[in-house]
């Protein structure tokens, strides 16, 4: 029996993508939660696992896999069903197209919006937020239109495309729903009022088996737990 561990930070979209993949595949693992505020990624012990100090990291017996897409590819190779990168050449192309679009056009602007909101520095970065919001809306329009033709972003079944885009969208809606975002008029939330197909897809993603297990722990309202990191940077 294999010993599988995932090192992650709560709320990190790349980590969430991997956790969703493990849930979709029905693969068990031990969660190793790191705290950015405690500097867990910078410790010598963790640097031995990943010298770059990044997350996610999957440790599967003696195999250590770093970088999100590499981890997703490894998971798909060891447990091919259901496939995450398409069954046909066209599905595979659409998966990689969507991932490339997310990483090239969506993830960056979402970060430019969410970081100032999470850190309560809206006044300092209002111009940046406005510029990023325009780019984000362009991408949301594309995604919304794509989902008008299919229940999933790259075909008839959930794929790595959905697992990559979903956490980024959730980071965006969480930031846009904060109290300090109200004066910005971002026109993102409620999602169903602006992008109904995306909102419906969000519901389908939330209904995936294992979704609750993958959901960021520090996003859940809960009583203090002495066994978890005391504080974590919001994201």
- The tens digit of pLDDT for each residue in 11-59 reads 999 999 999 999 999 999 999 999 999 999 999 999 999 999 999 999 9
Place of tokens 């209002």: 126
Structure confidence at residue 101 as a pLDDT band (50, 70, 90): very high
CATH architecture label of 4-83:
3-Layer(aba) Sandwich (3.40)
Domain boundaries, the chain: 4-83, 89-208
CATH architecture label of 89-208:
Up-down Bundle (1.20)
Q: What is the mean pLDDT of residues 179-185?
A: 92
Q: Residue 152 gets which letter from DSSP?
A: B
pLDDT of residue 222: 54
CATH topology match: 4-83 vs 89-208: no
Cβ neighbors of 118 (< 8 A, separation 6 or more) are 175, 178, 233, 234, 235
Q: Is the pLDDT of residue 184 over 90?
A: yes
With CA atoms as reference, report the closest residue to 82 among 14, 2, 154.
154
Q: Is the pLDDT of residue 234 over 60?
A: no
pLDDT of residue 232: 42
pLDDT of residue 61: 95
With contact defined as beta carbons under 8 Å apart, do 101 and 164 qualify? Answer: no
DSSP 196-234: HHHHHHHHHHHTSTTHHHHS-GGGS-----TTS-S----
- The tens digit of pLDDT for each residue in 46-79 reads 999 999 999 999 999 999 999 999 999 999 999 9
pLDDT of residue 224: 47
Helix (H) or strand (E) holding 63: strand 63-66
pLDDT of residue 231: 41
With contact defined as beta carbons under 8 Å apart, do 86 and 155 qualify? Answer: yes
pLDDT of residue 158: 97
């Amino acid at each position: 029996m294999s010993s599988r561990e995932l090192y992650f930070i709560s709320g990190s979209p790349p980590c969430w993508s991997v956790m969703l993949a493990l849930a979709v595949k029905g693969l068990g693992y031990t969660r190793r939660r790191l705290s950015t505020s405690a500097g867990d990624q910078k410790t010598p012990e963790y640097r031995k696992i990943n010298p770059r100090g990044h997350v996610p990291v999957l440790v599967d017996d003696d195999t250590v896999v770093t970088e999100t897409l590499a981890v997703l590819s490894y998971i798909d190779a060891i447990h091919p069903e259901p496939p995450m990168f398409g069954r046909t050449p066209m599905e595979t192309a659409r998966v990689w197209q969507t991932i490339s679009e997310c990483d090239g056009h969506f993830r960056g602007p979402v970060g430019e919006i969410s970081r100032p909101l999470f850190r309560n520095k809206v006044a300092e970065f209002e111009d940046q937020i406005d510029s990023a919001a325009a780019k984000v809306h362009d991408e949301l329009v594309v995604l919304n239109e794509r989902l008008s033709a299919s229940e999933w972003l790259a075909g008839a079944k959930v794929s790595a495309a959905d697992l990559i885009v979903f956490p980024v969208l959730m980071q965006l809606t969480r930031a846009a729903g904060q109290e300090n975002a109200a004066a910005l008029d971002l026109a993102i939330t409620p999602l169903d009022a602006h992008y109904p197909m995306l909102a419906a897809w969000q519901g389908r993603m939330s209904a995936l088996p294992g979704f609750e297990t993958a959901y960021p722990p520090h996003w859940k309202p809960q009583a203090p737990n002495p066994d978890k990191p005391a504080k974590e940077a919001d994201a």
